[in-house]
Amino acid sequence: MGREQLSRVTLISLVYLLHVFAAESLACTTIIAGKKATTNGAIIVARNSDSGKAVNSKHLIVHQSRINLPDAVFRSNSNDFSYPLTEVSLRYLGLPYWYAHNESMEQVVCNNYGVALSSTETITNSDEVLKVDPYVKKTGITEDSIASVIIQRVKTAREGIELLGHIVSTKGAGEGFGVAIADKNEVWYLETASGHHWAAVKVPDEAYFVSANQGRIQDLDPHDKANYLLSHGLIEFAEENKLYNPKTDRKFNFRKAFARIIPGDVQYNYLRIYTVIRKFNPEFTADFKKGEFPTFLKPAKLISKNDVASALRNHYEGTDNDPYTLENPEEPYRPIAVLRQSNSHITETRSNAAPGIDVVQYISLGMNALGVYIPFYSGIRQVPSPYLLGDDKASDDSAFWVYRKLQVLAMRNFKAYAPIIQKEYFVFEENLAARQALMEEKYNELYKTDPIAALTLLQRFSDQTIEEALTLTKNLTNTLFTLETEAMDKKYHFEGS
Q: Measured at the alpha carbon of residue 147, what is the angle toward residues 143 and 151, in degrees to the nearest 5?
A: 155
Burial class of residue 474 in the structure, from the number of CB atoms within 10 Å of its CB (0-12 exposed, 13-18 middle, 19+ buried) = middle
Closest Cα to residue 404, out of 364, 345, 464?
Answer: 364
116: Cα within 13 Å, side-chain hemisphere:
34
Query: CB atoms < 10 A from the CB of 242, how many?
Result: 10
Pick the catalytic residue: 28, 44, 370, 374? 28
Closest Cα to residue 272, out of 329, 316, 239, 241?
Answer: 316
The SS3 of residue 234 is helix
Pairing outcome for strands 187-192 and 177-182: antiparallel
Q: Measured at the alpha carbon of residue 291, what is the angle toward residues 290 and 295, in degrees to the nearest 5?
A: 140
The SS3 of residue 125 is strand
- The DSSP secondary-structure symbol of 92 reads E
Element (H, E) at 307: helix 305-312
**Residue 188 near residue 158 (C-beta atoms within 8 A):** yes
Residue 265 carries which side chain, given as an amino acid letter?
D
- Measured between alpha carbons, how far is 188 from 182 in angstroms, rounded to an integer? 6
Active site residue 110: no
Closest Cα to residue 425, out of 361, 366, 373, 478?
Answer: 373
Asked whether the CA dihedral 399, 401, 402, 404 is positive or negative, the reply is positive
SS3 content of the chain, % helix, strand, coil (to 5): 35, 20, 45
Closest Cα to residue 307, out of 338, 282, 333, 270?
Answer: 282
- Measured between alpha carbons, how far is 102 from 378 in angstroms, rounded to an integer? 23
The arrangement of strands across the sheet holding 108-111 comes to 61-63, 92-94, 108-111, 116-122, 177-182, 187-192, 198-202, 228-230
Residues carrying an active site annotation? 28
